[in-house]
Amino acid sequence: MRSGKDVEREQKVRFIVAKNTAQFMLERLSEWGIKRIYGYPGDGINGLLGAFHEVGDRIEFTQTAHEEIASFAACAHAKFTGEVGVCMATSGPGAIHLLNGLYDAKLDHQPVVAIIGQQKRMGLGGHFQQEVDLISLYKDVASEYVHVCMVPSQAAHLIDRAIRIAKSTRSVTCIIVPDDVAEMEHEDPPRAHGATFSGEGMPNLPRVVPYEEDIKRAAEILNEGQKVAMLIGAGAYGAEEEVKEAADILGCGVAKALNGRAVLPDDLPYVTGAIGLLGTKPSNDMIENCDTFFMVGSSFPYSEWLPEPGQARGVQIDIDGTLIGIRYPMEANLIGDAKETLRTLIPHLSRKEDRSWREDIEENVSRWWEILDERAMEDAEPLNPQRVFHELSSRLPERCITTGDSGSATNWWARHLKLREGMMAALSGNLATMCPGVPYALAAKFAYPDRPVIACVGDGAMQMIGNNTLIDVAKYWHRWSDPRLIVLVLNNRDLNQVTWEQRVLAGDPKLEASQNLPDFPFARYAELLGFKGIRVDDPDDVAGAWDEALAADRPVVYEAVTDPEIPPLPPHIRFEQAQGMASALAKGDPSEIRIAWNSLRGKLEEFTNR
């Protein structure tokens, strides 16, 4: 018969070796290859946070200054690495703060898992503090998979399915962990009716290629076209060489949706650059004059910047059958991976012997870069924002990563930066939310600590979230082998993109009460954080300031004091846009004279470079 001491000893041993549910979940994530979780603490995840002590360096909790930064960083990790990004927050307010970055991931089809806390189960339904119906809150953003861990024996299959579904569907998934469950001793499910057993690990996603008859039909359309225009998006990453080969055979130009900004380098003579309102004139001219439209890995949404229905025959390649044929009436739709589908398609394509269409496109591209160079050197009060990007473009370091935000700075980021082979770029494409620029840069440095990273943002996004993210940069930058993280801030004291949208789209003058921003000393703030702060308000100092920033031994904030009245001219001014601008000026915009002059100058550059 066992003595009381024996029982006590067994209980102590059991206490030492027992693993709670939170520790099991972190270990399971580690077994899936997750090495970092971005998040912010709160008592609703105390059990999960405590478990990080037990897993050691297998998985790291990376604290951010706000939960929104954490979800943006998780999204950016997925974009830059192709891996699953993971973020964590407490119940109620923490879970709510994650949503913007998670919607960014959802709309850009990125695999992200959100792990969020919840109040103890016994309090649910009791109107308890911070109790939020998280299933209802997350059922849209994590529509593919959102579940509550009600008992410890669920933990394995919840983790396994959340990661597996996120990877398979390129979507956001969510696990909700009540605080009491996280701290309960983990137990495997019993071998009984109703139990589910799961295993970690997943093979490579399958090779998806269309049927031969669909390939031949697409090839027939492309071969018959005389003026083929190709548009690529994020789905073309990994198929760079196949895109180049197909474009050469078809004698076409290649336009890029912003999510596909870095698929092909901009120094290729047939790459026309971005498309749409933020796009280039060569892209617009190619689309308006093509007779065949070939879309690869893109769901670019703006129909007014695509061929008119009936103008061109269409072919589309996309891995997601739900996105086929929804932007333009295509004749041939190919559901498959861009790389494998193009590999299968290319042997069926016939080389265009008449290269005049391609030659015209290349001439237009060359002329466009000259136009941009001249626009960048126009006078402004005090700085022309185009010049800031123009001087950066030729100085971009090899293998650099650049991030954009949402605002007028995105126009210049999309047009003036000539990306080269080996560079990476990302922004919020479909959600087009403000504020991801600096959180994306933070995640890029964690993913690639040896590569220089440059974030390009406006003063609105910096005041909203960017300044907080710099606090995180200050905390972590000493860990990076290349410390260069440069944040370019266009300080024009105006929510500039919306100001121009008020004028052009709504026909209203600028509403100063909504649009004017308080001045903020971004460069001085950077110095308070231990960074290098550079403030530039003289055009003659722009280039030298870039040299100084790129040579720095620490993060840099490059504050450019720019002119808000330099119009982000679209590649083609449509009648309704001109009408809106005329209406805004007629109603008495506070900067009407300067707007008219700067717009005229910009368009004159196009005529003098014909």
Q: What is the pLDDT of residues 374-409, one digit of tens each?
A: 999 999 999 999 999 999 999 999 999 999 999 999
Which class is 212-363 in CATH?
A: alpha beta
Q: Give pLDDT, residue 596.
A: 56
Q: Give pLDDT, residue 607.
A: 42
- CA-CA distance, 216 to 222, in Å (whole number)? 10
Domain 212-363 and domain 377-608, same fold? Reply is: yes
Query: Beta strand 532-536 with 556-561: parallel, antiparallel or unpaired?
Result: parallel
Which conformational region is residue 130 in: left (phi greater than 0), alpha (psi within -120 to 50 degrees), or beta? left
Q: Which amino acid, one-letter code, is at 297? A: G
Contact 295, 278 (CB under 8 A): no
pLDDT digits (tens, 9 = 90+) for 228-247: 999 999 999 999 999 999 99
3-state secondary structure of 108: coil
- Residues forming beta bridges with residue 20, ordered by sequence position: 185
Residue 204, Cβ density class (10 Å: 0-12 exposed, 13-18 middle, ≥19 buried):
exposed
Q: Give pLDDT, residue 17.
A: 54
Bond into 382 cis (ω within 30): yes
Tokens 């410890």 map to which residue? 152
347 CA to centre of own chain: 34
Question: Domain 20-183 falls in which CATH fold?
Answer: Rossmann fold (3.40.50)
3-state secondary structure of 183: helix
Residues 6+ apart with CB under 8 A from 506: 580, 584
Q: Give pLDDT, residue 600.
A: 43
- Residues forming beta bridges with residue 486, ordered by sequence position: 454, 556
Q: Give pLDDT, residue 604.
A: 42
Strands of the sheet containing 172-178, edge to edge, are 60-63, 36-39, 85-89, 112-118, 172-178, 146-148
Contact 297, 317 (CB under 8 A): yes
User: Could you tell me the end-to-end alpha-carbon distance of the chain, in angstroms, rounded to an integer?
Assistant: 100
pTM of the model: 0.92
Q: Which amino acid, one-letter code, is at 517? A: L
Question: Domain 377-608 falls in which CATH fold?
Answer: Rossmann fold (3.40.50)
158 CA to centre of own chain: 27
Q: Give pLDDT, residue 9.
A: 52
DSSP 255: E
Q: Give pLDDT, residue 568.
A: 83
Residue 549, Cβ density class (10 Å: 0-12 exposed, 13-18 middle, ≥19 buried):
buried
Residue 610: CB atoms within 10 A of its CB come to 6
- CA-CA distance, 290 to 85, in Å (whole number)? 39
Which residue numbers in the chain have pLDDT < 50? 7, 10-16, 575, 597, 600-610
Residue 318, Cβ density class (10 Å: 0-12 exposed, 13-18 middle, ≥19 buried):
buried
Q: Give pLDDT, residue 503.
A: 83
The candidate with the shortest Cα–Cα distance to 471, out of 434, 525, 521, 524, is 525
Q: Give pLDDT, residue 500.
A: 85
Q: Give pLDDT, residue 122.
A: 80
3-state secondary structure of 370: helix
- CA-CA distance, 501 to 9, in Å (whole number)? 72
Residue boundaries of the structural domains of the chain: 20-183, 212-363, 377-608
**Tokens of residue 29, six digits:** 């994530």
